[in-house]
């Protein structure tokens, strides 16, 4: 993953929960509502990605969301493909419970299932191969990403599609110059997080360094008809309350987990941005926006 967004320590984009990194340290029951709300914010992006897949994946029987989190995308799959059975797979029982509740509210409970366990081994428990297997930012939590993709591809029906959401661009919420501190705060946070991501990857069990050329990795997994597409979330200023909450959550997580790698001036700027009583904070400033780009790579198992 060339860019480092959506890791499970950062609820701002977190998906693919409980895949062998920090799972025991995270209270998913407490984090679930936030993850769900923020995934809902990204729904326009996810809908465009699913509609792109739907142009070539016709009438799938089984769709597997590998690393489903609270099931926002799982439910969108059920809506996009009304004839399909959808199985949400995750390492968190609390998040899967939220996924089941969402499917029930949507009226899709009769064709919605869940599977609790760690990727990729838990996929062995599927009753039959998938026509579409979706992995949104879950593969990068596995030490050997190439082997993980090969395992996922092995659970596809002939002609089935594996789609992974990995990469894209860093999200932006603020102008380069926010009126205090040094300009370019978000770019410096991105650089620190890139270092964090490298350390996280290196510490994973069985970690293997690989060129994160996702189309080439899909080809190495035996897939063909490989294509990639990037989808944009563009929520311009003035921001909604949900967009402000998202920006606050992402920056709060950065303040908590990356502070020791940021200088005092940047920490002070973050503190101002996060102070609800400060008119220049993300809670009030009129120039706040959300701009994010996520890339989906897809390949097909030969018939």
pLDDT of residue 20: 35
Kindly give the confidence (pLDDT) of every residue in the chain, 303 residues in length, as a single tens digit, with 9 standing for 90 and above. Answer: 233 333 333 333 333 333 333 444 667 777 888 889 889 999 999 999 999 999 999 899 999 999 999 999 999 999 999 999 999 999 999 999 999 999 999 999 999 999 999 999 999 999 999 999 999 999 999 999 999 999 999 999 999 999 999 999 999 999 999 999 999 999 999 999 999 999 999 999 999 999 999 999 999 999 999 999 999 999 999 999 999 999 999 999 899 988 889 999 999 999 999 999 999 999 999 999 999 999 999 999 999
Q: Distance between CA atoms of 53 and 165, rounded to whole angstroms?
A: 12
Residue 208: its pLDDT value, please? 95
Q: How far apart are CA 161 and CA 184, in angstroms?
A: 40
Q: Choose among 73, 80, 74: nearest CA to 58.
A: 80
* Three-state SS annotation for the chain: CCCCCCCCCCCCCCCCCCCCCCHHHCCHHHHHHHHHHHHHHCHHHHHHHHHHHHCCCCCCCEEEEECCCCCHHHHHHHHHCCCCEEEEEECCHHHHHHHHHHHHHHCCHHHEEEEECCCCHHHHHCCCCEEEEEEECCHHHCCCHHHHHHHHHCCEEEEEEEEEEEEEEEEECCCCCCCCCCCCHHHHHHHHHHHHHHHHHHHCCCCCCCCCCHHHHHHHCCCEEEEEEEEEEEECCCCCHHHHHHHHHHHHHHHHHHHHHCCHHHHHHHHHHHCCCCCCCCCCCCCCCEEEEEEEEEEECCC
How many other β-carbons are positioned within 10 Å of the β-carbon of residue 153? 20
Give residue 17's pLDDT.
37
* pLDDT value of residue 31: 80
pLDDT at 38: 87
Given the candidates 3.40.50.300, 3.40.50.150, 3.20.20.150, 3.40.50.10540, the CATH classification of the domain at 23-300 is 3.40.50.150
């Amino acid at each position: 993953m060339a860019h480092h967004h959506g890791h499970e320590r950062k609820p701002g984009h977190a998906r693919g929960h409980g895949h062998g990194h920090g799972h025991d340290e995270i209270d998913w029951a407490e984090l679930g509502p936030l993850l769900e709300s923020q995934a809902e914010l990204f729904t326009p992006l996810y809908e465009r990605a699913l509609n792109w897949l739907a142009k070539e994946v016709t009438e799938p029987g089984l769709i597997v969301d590998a690393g489903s989190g609270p099931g926002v995308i799982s439910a969108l799959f059920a809506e996009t493909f009304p004839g399909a059975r959808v199985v949400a797979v995750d390492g968190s029982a609390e998040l899967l419970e939220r996924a089941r509740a969402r499917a029930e509210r949507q009226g899709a409970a009769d064709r919605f299932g869940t599977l609790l366990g760690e990727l990729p081994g838990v996929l062995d428990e599927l009753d039959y191969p998938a026509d579409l297997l979706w992995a949104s930012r879950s593969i990068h939590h596995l030490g050997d990403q190439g082997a993980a993709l090969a395992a996922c591809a092995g659970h596809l029906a002939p002609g089935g599609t594996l789609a992974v959401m990995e990469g894209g661009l860093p999200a932006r919420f603020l102008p380069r110059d926010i009126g205090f501190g040094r300009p370019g705060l978000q770019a410096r946070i991105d650089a620190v997080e890139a270092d964090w991501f490298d350390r996280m990857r290196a510490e994973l069990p069985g970690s293997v360094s690989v060129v994160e050329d996702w189309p080439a990795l899909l080809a190495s997994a035996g897939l063909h008809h490989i294509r990639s597409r990037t989808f944009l979330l563009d929520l311009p200023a003035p921001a909604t309350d949900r967009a402000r909450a998202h920006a606050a959550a992402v920056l709060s997580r950065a303040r908590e987990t990356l502070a020791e790698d940021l200088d005092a001036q940047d920490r002070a700027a973050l503190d101002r941005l996060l102070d609800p009583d400060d008119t220049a904070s993300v809670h009030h400033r009129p120039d706040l926006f959300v701009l994010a780009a996520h890339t989906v790579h897809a390949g097909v198992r030969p018939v």
